[in-house]
Amino acid sequence: MEIYKEFSFDSAHRLPNLPDSHKCSRLHGHTFKVTVYVQGDVDPQLGWVLDFGDIKECVKPIIDELDHRYLNDIDGLENPTSENISRWIFEKLILVMPVSKIMVNETCTSGCIYTGHP
C-alpha cells in the first residue's frame, strides 16, 4: 500500500539556463507543494504503513532548508526546476526514511514526480 503526506514551502527562483525571452528566466516565486509517498506493507497490529508523524519529522528539516529562500543559492539547486527540486528532496530523504516517490508542484497545473530513477 502507498501512503502520502503533503507539505508546502514559499520560495523564489529563476531558471538561469533559459533564454532571456522566457518568462521563467526572470525572478519569480511560488508556493511549492511537496507530496512525499511511502510504499510498504500495512503493519497488522498498528494498521498503518508508517506513522504520518514520523514522515513529518523526517521531511520538516528538509522543507525548512527551502522555505523563504532564493532556491538558486542552495547547493545542488543552481537550476531549480521542478525536476531538480524533486530529485534534490528525494536524495536527502532516502537517507533517513523509505520514500517511494516525491511530487513537487510548482503551480496548480504543473509539477514533477521523481521515483529515484532518471
Ligand X SMILES: Nc1nc2c(c(=O)[nH]1)N=C([C@H](O)[C@H](O)COP(=O)(O)OP(=O)(O)OP(=O)(O)O)CN2
35's grid cell: 507530496
Q: Is the dihedral of CA 98, 5, 60, 49 positive or negative?
A: negative
Nearer to ligand X, 65 or 83 (CB): 83
Contacts (CB under 6 A) with ligand X, residues 93-112:
106-107, 109-110
Residue 67, interface with ligand X (CB under 6 A)? no
Residue 113, interface with ligand X (CB under 6 A)? no
x/- binding map, residues 27-56, to ligand X, per CB under 6 A?
-x----------------------------
5's grid cell: 503526506
117 is in an annotated binding site: no
68 classed as catalytic = yes
30 is in an annotated binding site: yes
Are the C-beta atoms of residues 105 and 33 closer than 8 Å to each other? Answer: yes
Residue 115, interface with ligand X (CB under 6 A)? no
Are the C-beta atoms of residues 17 and 8 closer than 8 Å to each other? Answer: no
User: CA–CA separation, 24 vs 4, rounded Å?
Assistant: 29
DSSP annotation of 95 reads T
| Residue 106 beta carbon to ligand X: minimum distance, rounded to whole angstroms | 5
Residue 81, interface with ligand X (CB under 6 A)? yes
Active site residues: 24, 68, 106
